[in-house]
Amino acid sequence: MQNPKTLISEDEIRKRVDELAAQISLDYADKGELVLVGVLKGSFIFLADLSRRLSIPRHIEFIAVSSYRYGSTRSGAVRLVMDMRRSIEAKNVLIVEDIVDTGHTLDYLIKMLKSRNPASIRTCTLLHKEHSAEVDVQIDYCGFSIGDEWVVGYGLDYDEKDRTLPYIGVIEPDD
């Protein structure tokens, strides 16, 4: 595995997370508690930084899904691995993702969570690979649009490596 080449610096990430938190805080001001649903594992660093910067009441839940994968290729099938512990009925929900690539995972989550009768559902992703989309999903808050590179760091990994890098780096997968 090679050393990742920096795509988005730690300072750029910090600035953009500040901007996203300010916009989300403004949009949800006077709407009661916001439920942030972090999609594990990749969103945990982004979610932590984003939630600390919000100026509104919030509650954090986690959910884990698995996209079936063969090497570095995704099949599009998604399954629930770990569910949230509290109900989201009549609550404002913000799904927090690390990256939206094909859109299959986010589409699955939106449909599943809508069936639980929240007051609203919006989406926030740190990274969006617009040109990789196979499913049209609404992204309400986006940190950065990127190309089709394989990225690691700030929660994202390749084979459970490089997840804790403080920046977003590009690598070439081994397979």
pLDDT, tens digit, 9 for 90 and up, residues 123-153: 999 999 988 888 889 999 999 999 988 999 9
Per the annotation, the verdict on 101 as an active-site residue is yes
Tell me if 34 sits within 8 A of 58, measured CB to CB: yes
Across the range 148-159, mean pLDDT stands at 91
* Residues with Cβ within 8 Å of residue 120, at least 6 apart in sequence: 92, 93
Residue 101's nearest CA partner among 133, 75, 79, 69 is 133
Q: Please identify which of the residues 101, 140, 174, 175 carries the catalytic annotation.
A: 101
Average pLDDT score over the chain: 90
> What SS3 state is found at 51?
helix
Residue with tokens 């740190």: 126
Q: What is the number of other CB atoms lying within 10 angstroms of the CB of residue 86?
A: 9
pLDDT, tens digit, 9 for 90 and up, residues 28-83: 999 989 999 999 888 999 999 999 999 999 999 999 888 755 445 555 677 777 77
- Domains annotated on the chain, with CATH: 5-171 (3.40.50.2020)
Specify the pTM. Answer: 0.90
Residue with the bigger pLDDT between 68 and 7: it is 7
